[in-house]
Amino acid sequence: MRLSDLLSSLKEEMTVGDKSVEISGIAYDSRKVKPGDAFVAIRGFSKDGTGFVGEAVKNGARAVVVEGDADVPSNVPKVVVPNARIALAELSAAFNGHPSRKLKMIGITGTNGKTTISYLIEAILRKKGHKVGVIGTVDARINGRSFPTQLTTPESAELQDLLARMLKEGVTHVVMEVSSHSLQLERVHGCEFDVAVFTNLTHDHLDFHGNMQNYLNAKMKLFQRLGKGSKTDVTAVINVDDPCGKKIMTYIEGNILTYGVYNNANLTASDFSVDIERMDFNCRSVDGDIRMSSGMIGVYNAYNIMAAALVGRVFDIDYESIRDAVRELKDVPGRLERITVSGKPTVLVDFAHSPDSLQKLLETLRPLVTGRIILVFGCPGDRDRMKRPLMGEIAVRLSDHVIISTDDPHTEPPERIIREIEEGIIRGGGKLHKNYTKLEDRKVAITEAINMAKAGDLVVLAGRGHEKFQDFNGSKVKIDDREVAKEILGIKN
């Protein structure tokens, strides 16, 4: 593709050099530049891509895109843009033929529930024979075939490549988790969505966004851009029980479908019947009532099911098929994943890693457990420090015994993270009642929790869910909470 054709996708640019050169790819990592690529120098968290222009050219970059002044050889076209991240997204979309315009795109954003909703929507769409692509926290999938991804929402170059691959393999509908980071960093710029889902907004990621208003502003971008491209028949699916849902609705130009438990909505839930294994509840809409049944328990999962059901309705899927798909979905990896052995305590692995998600998980489980709840959790390093004592206080209030351990310390000393969680536990009375332990090694912590539990007790391993490695200052240590629990319980794979 000629550089001039690619540049026509940019709203604003100034080019010095030959626009007729042929471009064979888009790259933003100078180490991965191949001969013929256009190199886009984006500003990272610690390094500025303009400092790697020389390496990119040496590796064969045929054009360079920068935000400001940069030393580019005279024989290489230099494209100056106001925002390199937006340029990367627009160029990547154009290079791949704007795949999102040819796909039915479903974007899900919010603090909690994105992964579960993506699995539910995938199950509902596949139930009716659609070929579905999924991009999310656990992995990416094409019609059920899984392959790994590094980020919940990939960088725009990889994302557009992935959408093009899905289109080539016959995918008709793409379900994508859209993180606040990806919205703020313009990774999904250039993606045109048919449906956008808002789940909720609770305390998380404030290390990145600074405050809750900035966090909300990032989420709003998905809805502010809905219907602003070539697609005009668009729908927003909104949780009206969350105060931010009502704020977001004021920015939407398009159809709006709402769901809730406590407020009037297009789809509501009531008459819950819940035990440790299953949940049943009524869904009421203008189309009538239907009884939902799922192994995903808790009111918060009723919200997830309703969100997915409304997406199904957008694509004219009947409620009976939706009900069957929800009932048949057995597990979402690392979300309320149960590990059981007769005569031994039950272990439950869940991704709950924010104050709100941990509280909702434990409040759901508390009345369903006849014995004790023994909780193992930690908090990531180099991330939102404000949530650590909050989670400690919630943990000690809603569990019988807490073992504070590690999550991903990254570059932060694990003992400092544990100490900050402990502040909340002490505030919640943990020291007085002597019902918490500190064990830095997560495998040792899980072992201790299971060994101290008896039949009838529930061991909850929270915060990591499906994850298979811990990050200690860049060093990856293999550990999967589920596999560790199975090993201790004597379950052979």
- DSSP for 328-382 reads H---BTTBSEEE--TTS-EEEEE---SHHHHHHHHHHHGGG-SS-EEEEE---TT
Region 157-185: what's the mean pLDDT? Answer: 95
Q: Match 């909340």 to its residue by tokens.
A: 424
pLDDT at 16 over 90: no
Can you tell me the distance from the alpha carbon of 127 to that of 324, in angstroms, rounded to the nearest whole number?
8
| Cα–Cα distance for residue pair 326/292, rounded to 1 Å | 8
- Which pLDDT score, from 0 to 100, does residue 434 have? 83
- Is pLDDT above 70 for 46? no
Please give the model's pTM, rounded to 2 decimal places. 0.93
Distance CA(420)–CA(477), nearest Å, equals 23
Residue 165 has pLDDT above 80, yes or no: yes
User: Mind listing the pLDDT tens digit for each residue in 233-270?
Assistant: 999 999 999 999 989 999 898 899 999 999 999 999 99
Sketch the domain layout of the chain as residue ranges. Answer: 3-91, 99-328, 337-489
> Which residue has tokens 């208003």?
213
> What was the pLDDT predicted at 192?
97
CATH number at 337-489? 3.90.190.20
Q: Which letter, b or e, does each residue of 62-94 get, where b requires 16 or more Cβ atoms within 10 Å of its Cβ?
A: bbbbbbeebebeeebbbbbbebbbbbbbbbbbb
Cα separation, 419 vs 415, in Å, equals 6
Strand partners, 188: none
- Report the alpha-carbon distance of residue 307 to residue 266 in Å, rounded: 11
Full strand arrangement of the beta sheet holding 63-66? 14-16, 78-80, 63-66, 37-40, 25-27
Whole-angstrom distance, CA of residue 270 vs CA of residue 453: 34
Contacts of residues 81-84 at CB distance under 8 Å and 24 or more positions apart, as own/partner, are 81/10, 81/12, 81/13, 82/12, 83/186, 84/40, 84/41, 84/42, 84/43, 84/49
Question: Is the pLDDT reported for residue 358 higher than 80?
Answer: yes
Mean local confidence (pLDDT), 377-406 = 95
**Fold topology of 3-91:** 3.40.1390
Q: In the structure encoding, which two tokens stand for residue 184, read together?
A: 């703020």
pLDDT at residue 215 in the model: 87
Residue 60 φ/ψ region, left for φ over 0, alpha for ψ in the -120 to 50 degree band, beta for the rest: left
Placement of tokens 């990119």 in the chain: 56
Please say if the pLDDT value at position 68 is more than 90. Answer: no
Res. 369: pLDDT tops 90: yes
Fold of domain 99-328: UDP-N-acetylmuramoyl-L-alanine:D-glutamate ligase (3.40.1190)
Enumerate residues 6+ apart whose C-beta is below 8 A from 444.
Answer: none
pLDDT band at 156 (very low <50, low <70, confident <90, very high): very high
CA distance 178 to 187: 9
